[in-house]
A and B are shown apart, each in its own frame.
Chain A
Amino acid sequence: MKYLRKMSKAISIAGAAALVCSSVTPALAASEEQFDQIAQPAATQYTSGQLVKADGEPVRAGVPVQVFAWPDSKRLAKLKVGESFKMTEVSSVKTDASGKFSLAPALREAAKSTVPMSVTVIATDGKTPYQYSTELSSASGDVSSPALLALKGSDPSVSLGAGSVVMKPSSDVNVNIPVGKMASTASVSTPAAYTCSTRLDRKVGTSYAQIGATFLYATGAKAQFTFKKGTSASLGVASSASGKKGTFNAGGTTSVTSDAEIAFAPRTGGIRFYKAQVESGKFSTVCQNMAGPGIRVSYQVRPIDFTGGTQNAKGTGFSENHRCVPFGKNMTFTKDKSRAITWNKGLTLPSIAGITVSSQSGFSTRTKVVYQAGKKNRKLCGHLDWPAKNAGSIKLK
C-alpha cells in the first residue's frame, strides 16, 4: 500500500471532557511520586454513539460509521517493523436523523473475546472525518450485557453523553481527496465505506506504566500487589496527523494483555507505586475510499506489549477523606476481580510521542492486592468508598 501524506486540512477541536482528580499531598520528597488518580466513575454501558459537527449540530442521517478492530496484543507483539495488516471491520452502521449510531453489533463482536477489543471508530459525512480509538468489552462475557469501557475523556474529540459516545470532528487524520472526487455534503449523499490497513513503522522504545499501589501506615503488617497473567491494562494512545515528534495528542486508549504473572515483592511498610514496563510502537493507518472522500492517514504511538520489567517507587498517600473498617489481627483482605484505578498520568509514552497518558489496570480480568493485618488490630480505609466497594486505593493503618 502506498502511503499518502498530503495534508488537506486540520480541524481544530473545541471542548474537552472534564477530569475528576483527587486531592494531592503537596509536599514531595525528591524521590517520591504523587498520588494522582482519576476518581473512577461507575461503569456505564455505552451502546450508541453520535457524530456532532464542530458547530454542535448532529450530522445528517445515513452517514456510514465503521468500527475497525486492532489485532489482539499478542499478535501486535509479534508484528515486525514494516509489516502491515488489514484492520478488521467488526461493524458498519449508519447514523440516524439525529446523527446517532448503534454500537451494538461491535459490542456483540467484542463480547466474544475474553479480553477487551481495541478498536478505531471511523466515520465521514462526506468531507469531515471522525475518528477515535477505544476499547470494547463485555466484562461478564455475556453478549446480552455488553459494555463500552475505558473512555477516559482524554481525547477532546470525544465526550460522553447519557449512554452515548459523542464524537466531534477528528484532528488526528490527514485527508486526501482525489481529483474529480471532491466530496461535499451535496455531492456525496451516502459516502462509501473505507477499508483500512495499518503498518508498524517502528518500535519507539519502552516506558513504565503505573498499574497499582499499596499504602501501609503500620509496621508488622504486609501488603502485596500482583499483576496476574491475562490481566488487560487499559493504556493511553497518542495520535498525530503528521506523525512528527511533538505533534501527538492523547487519542484514546488501547488494551494490552500481560502474558506473565508479575508478582511484586511483599511490602512491610510505606507507600509504593507499582509499574510494569511496556514497549510501544509507531503505527500508520491508511483508510482508503476511492469512491468517496479519498484517503486518510493517521499515526499513532501505542503500547504493544509488557516486557516483564518492573519498577516500584515511593509515593505519597491520599487524603483523609475516606471510609475505614476495623481490621482485626491475623485477618487477610484480598481485592481482586476489580476494576482498578485510572492513573491520570500513569504512562509517559516514549519521546517521539512525548506525552503523558492514562493507565488503568484490572480492566476486565484480575489484578490482586492483598493486605495482612499481622499480629495487631488495624484499620483498612478506602479512598473513594468502603474498602470492599469501589474504593479505588486502599490503605492499612
Chain B
Amino acid sequence: MIMRKIYSSCVALAIVCGVSACSGVQSTQSGPLTFGTPEGDVENTFCSVFRKQNFAGDVASNSSDAPLWITGVQAVNSSGWDARGAVAAVVPEGESSLMGWTDEDLESADFKRAAERLTSLDRPVEVPAGENVQVALEGAVKNDAEQAEISQLKITYKTDLKSSKTFSVVGNIRYEWQARRCV
C-alpha cells in the first residue's frame, strides 16, 4: 500500500516537475495530510462551464496528532487554464466543502458560505490535528481555449513552519471546464 501510494505520488510529481525542480519537497501520499484517496487510484471528473471566475477545490485531512500548515496549492498538468491564486480554510464540523465552483454559483447561499471562509495562501494556513481543510485554486480559462483542464491539484504543506522541509500530496479529482457541460 505504501509502495503504491509512493509510486502514484512519484508518477504524478514526475509529470509536474523534474526531480531537480522538486528538490526539498518530500513527495508522499502517506504523510500526515491525507488527500486524494487512500487507494490512490480513484479519479473523479468535475465539469462546469466557463465563467468569469473558476475555482477548482477539494478537501484534505490532517490525520496526525499535531498541526500542520498549508503553504500552497498548484495545478498538476493544466491546459487552457491560468492559475490566479490559491486559497484554503479549515472546514468546521458539519459544514459543507466545495469541489469546484464559479462566480455564478456564489449566488447560492451554500456556495457563498463555504467560499467566504477561504483565505489567501499568501500566508500559510494552519490545520489543527484531525481537522479537514478546504483548498482551492482560482483561475481563468485562456482566451483562445475551447476547453480547460486540470488533471489534479497538488498541496504543499509543512509540519514545522521553522523547517525548510516541505511535503506535498496530490488529489484525485480531474477538473474540466467546457462551453457545454461534459459527460
Q: Which residues of A contact B (CB under 8 A)?
A: 42-45, 139-140, 142, 144-145, 147, 323-328, 330-339, 370, 372, 377, 379-380, 386-390
Contacts and interface: CB of A to CB of B under 8 A. Distances in A.
A331 B100 contact: yes
Nearest to B172: A388
Contact of B39 (A42, A334, A335, A386): A42
B167 interface: no
Contact of A339 (B1, B42, B173, B181): B42
Contacts of A326: 96, 98, 101, 105, 108, 110-111, 114
B41 A334 contact: no
B85 to A, nearest CB: 21
15 contacts: A323-B96, A325-B99, A326-B110, A326-B114, A328-B48, A328-B102, A328-B111, A331-B100, A332-B47, A332-B182, A334-B44, A336-B44, A338-B43, A386-B59, A388-B173
A147 B41 CA distance: 12
A386 B4 CA distance: 22
A389 B44 CA distance: 9
Contact of A390 (B1, B39, B111): B39
B49 interface: yes
B8 interface: yes
A338 B41 CA distance: 7
A225 to B, nearest CB: 13
A140 B1 CA distance: 11
B45 A333 contact: yes
A390 B46 contact: no
B50 to A, nearest CB: 11
Given A335-B44, A390-B38, A372 B97 contact: no
Contact of A331 (B1, B39, B48, B172): B48
A324 B172 CA distance: 17
Going nearest first, the 4 A-B pairs with the smallest beta carbon separation are A42-B38, A145-B4, A328-B105, A326-B110
Contacts of B102: 328
A388 B48 contact: no
B4 A324 contact: no
Contacts of A142: 4, 7
Contacts of B98: 325-326
B110 A379 contact: yes
Interface residues of B, number: 38
A255 B110 CA distance: 42
Contacts of B1: 42-45, 147
Interface in B18-40: 37-39
Nearest to B38: A42
Given A44-B1, A45-B4, A387 B99 contact: yes
Contacts of A334: 44-47, 183
B182 to A, nearest CB: 6
Interface string B64-85: 0000000000000000000000
Contacts of B100: 331
B42 A337 contact: yes
A390 B97 CA distance: 15
B84 to A, nearest CB: 19
B3 interface: yes
Contacts of B101: 326, 328
Contacts of B39: 42-43, 139, 339, 390
Contact of A336 (B3, B4, B43, B48): B43
B146 interface: no
B181 A332 contact: yes
A49 B104 CA distance: 55
B58 interface: yes
Nearest to B34: A389
A21 B102 CA distance: 38
A377 to B, nearest CB: 5
Contact of B4 (A147, A335, A388): A147
B45 A390 contact: no
A221 to B, nearest CB: 12
Contacts of A370: 183
Nearest to A147: B4
B7 A145 contact: yes
Given A43-B1, A331-B47, A386-B59, 20 more contacts: A42-B1, A43-B39, A45-B3, A140-B4, A140-B41, A142-B7, A144-B7, A326-B105, A326-B110, A332-B47, A339-B39, A339-B42, A370-B183, A372-B181, A386-B97, A386-B99, A388-B59, A388-B173, A389-B37, A390-B38
A44 B2 CA distance: 9
Contacts of A45: 1, 3-4
Contacts of A377: 105, 108, 110-111
Contacts of B171: 388
Nearest to A45: B1
A139 B171 CA distance: 18
Given A328-B105, A331-B48, A332-B181, A337 B43 contact: yes
Contacts of B7: 140, 142, 144-145
Contacts of A331: 46-48, 100, 181
